[in-house]
Amino acid sequence: MRAWYVPPETDVSAGMVKDMAEKKEDHKFPLNTIYFYLTEGCNLRCRHCWIAPKYQKGSNSYPSLSLELFRSIIAQAKPLWLSGVKLTGGAPLLHPQIREILEEIRANDLRLTVETNGLLCTEDLARQMAACKRPFVSVSIDGSRAETHEWVRGVEGSFEAAKEGIRNLVKAGLKPQLIMTIMPRNRNQMKAVLHLAESLGCGSVKFNILQPIARGEKMHNAEQVLSIEELVEIGEWAENVLSPSTSLRVYYSHPLAFHPLSRMFSNNGDGCMTCGILGILGVLPNGSYALCGIGETVPELVFGHAATDLLDDVWENTPVLHQLREGLPHRLEGICGECLMKSRCLGSCVAQNYYRSKSLWAPFWFCEEANRRGLFAATRRPPQS
C-alpha cells in the first residue's frame, strides 16, 4: 500500500514544539480532537457512505497517511491542547502501519476513538486499542441478518467478520458501540440489532440517520430513504420504548431539538451528542487539513497540507475556522436560528449544511424538513410575543 511522500521540511524540531507550548495559554479555542481519515481505500462498498472511499480488495491499494506525517501532526497538536484522536476512514485498520499509529497514540497518552467496520479487528489489534487511554471503538452492523447487512455493505461475508471483530474487542476488555444506519430495508430489524449487541457484549447501540452526502445523497435523490415523518416517529419510539427496554445505552442520531429533555439530562441519557465542531480538525489521507472528512468532496473546506503548513498557523489563522468561532450559534439561519437548542447543537452538522447549500449558516436538513412538515416542536422555539 502506498503512503504519501513526506518532504524533509515536515520534521518538527524540539525548538518549534517548545515555542508552540509557550503560546498554549493564548489559544482561546483548544484543539481537542483530530479526526484522522487514514486511508483512501476501504474493504467494503457501503451504498450510503458519506466519504465514498475507493474499494480495496486483494493486491490493489490506495494512498494512506504516512506514519511520519502522523507523528509530525501529533507533535504540533499537543501544545494546542490536543487530548484525543479519532481514527476513521475509509477503513482505518487497513492502514499498513496501524500498529505503529496505535502505539504513537498510546505513547502520547491521547484518548482513542476508532470507527471501524470490524473486518480487520484481530485479537492483537483489539488488545492494542484497549491499551490506549479511554478507548472507544464503534463497529458498524446494519442488520440482524447477513443478507441485510451485506446488502448495505456490499461484500459477502462481512456480517460474520464484523461480529468476530466485536468479539475480539470484548475479549480485550472493551465495550464497543454497535452502529446501524437506518434505511427502509432494515428499519424493522432495529430491535433485533439491539438484541444482537446485547448478545455480543457491546456497551451501547447507535442508530444513525442516513445523511444526504456523497453516496447517501444519491439514495436521498432516488427516494431510497425513510421519510421525515418516519424518521421522527422512529426517533420517538427509540427514545421512549426501545431505550428503556435494555441495559445498554441507546442513541438515535436525530438533532438535539428532537431529544426528550428527560433523556438529555438524566444519568441514563445521552447528554449532548454533538461533534464539537469548534474543537476538532480533520486530516485527510493525503495529509491535507480540513474541517472534517467533508474535505474529500468539498475542496473549499480544505485548509492546507501538513507537509507544508504549520498546524498552529492553520488552527489560528484559517478564515473558515474564524468564521465558525465568531458566528456560531447566532448566525445560524432558518429553523436552526430560532431553535432554543442552538447553543448546544450548533446547527447539528456544519459540514452537512455547507455541502447542501454552500453556506456555513444554513439550517440542518432534518430540522428544516421537519419544520416544513409541522413536526418541529413549538417548545423548542422562543415563546411568541
Cell 504549520, residue located: 310
So what's the architecture of 25-318 in CATH? Alpha-Beta Barrel (3.20)
Q: pLDDT by residue (tens digit) across 81-90?
A: 999 999 998 8
- Rounded Cα distance, 89 and 173, in Å: 24
Contact 215, 46 (CB under 8 A): yes
Q: pLDDT by residue (tens digit) across 209-234?
A: 999 999 999 999 999 999 999 999 99
Predicted pLDDT of residue 264: 61
Predicted pLDDT of residue 243: 96
Which amino acid is it at 297? T
What does the buried/exposed string (b/e) look like for 210-249 if buried means 16 or more CB atoms within 10 Å of the residue's CB? bbbbbbbbebbeeeebbebeebbebbeebbeebbeeeebb
Q: Across-strand partners of 114?
A: 87, 137
pLDDT category of residue 265 using cuts at 50, 70 and 90 = low
The predicted model gives 173-200 an average pLDDT of 98
- Rounded Cα distance, 141 and 309, in Å: 38
The predicted model gives 51-73 an average pLDDT of 92
Work out the percent of the chain whose per-residue pLDDT is above 90: 85
Could you tell me where in the chain the CATH 3.20.20.70 domains are found? 25-318
* Three-state secondary structure string covering 157-185: CHHHHHHHHHHHHHHCCCCCEEEEEECCC
Q: pLDDT by residue (tens digit) across 104-126?
A: 999 999 999 999 999 999 999 99
pLDDT higher than 70, residue 266: no
Query: Which residue from 162, 115, 106, 107 is spatially nearest to 134, judged by alpha carbons?
Result: 106
pLDDT category of residue 268 using cuts at 50, 70 and 90 = very low
Q: pLDDT by residue (tens digit) across 342-376?
A: 999 999 999 999 999 999 999 999 999 999 999 99
Strand 133-140 and strand 302-305: pairing? unpaired
pLDDT higher than 50, residue 184: yes
Determine whether 127 is exposed, middle or buried from the number of CB atoms within 10 Å of its CB (0-12, 13-18, 19+).
Answer: middle
Please state, rounded to an integer, the average pLDDT across all residues of the chain: 91
Contact 228, 375 (CB under 8 A): yes
- Phi and psi at residue 45, to the nearest 5°: -125, 65
The predicted model gives 140-152 an average pLDDT of 98
What does the buried/exposed string (b/e) look like for 52-65 if buried means 16 or more CB atoms within 10 Å of the residue's CB? bbeebeeeebbbbb
Query: Which residue from 69, 10, 84, 51 is spatially nearest to 217, judged by alpha carbons?
Result: 51
Predicted pLDDT of residue 272: 44
pLDDT higher than 60, residue 297: yes
Predicted pLDDT of residue 10: 42
The DSSP symbol for 378 reads G
Predicted pLDDT of residue 260: 86
Determine whether 98 is exposed, middle or buried from the number of CB atoms within 10 Å of its CB (0-12, 13-18, 19+).
Answer: buried
- Rounded Cα distance, 218 and 100, in Å: 37
The predicted model gives 142-169 an average pLDDT of 98
Predicted pLDDT of residue 191: 98
R_g of the chain, CA atoms, integer Å = 21
Q: Is the peptide bond before 329 cis (omega within 30 degrees of 0)?
A: yes
pLDDT category of residue 270 using cuts at 50, 70 and 90 = very low
pLDDT higher than 60, residue 12: no
Q: pLDDT by residue (tens digit) across 308-337?
A: 999 999 999 999 999 999 999 999 999 999
Q: How many CA atoms lie within 13 A of 5 on its CB side?
A: 2
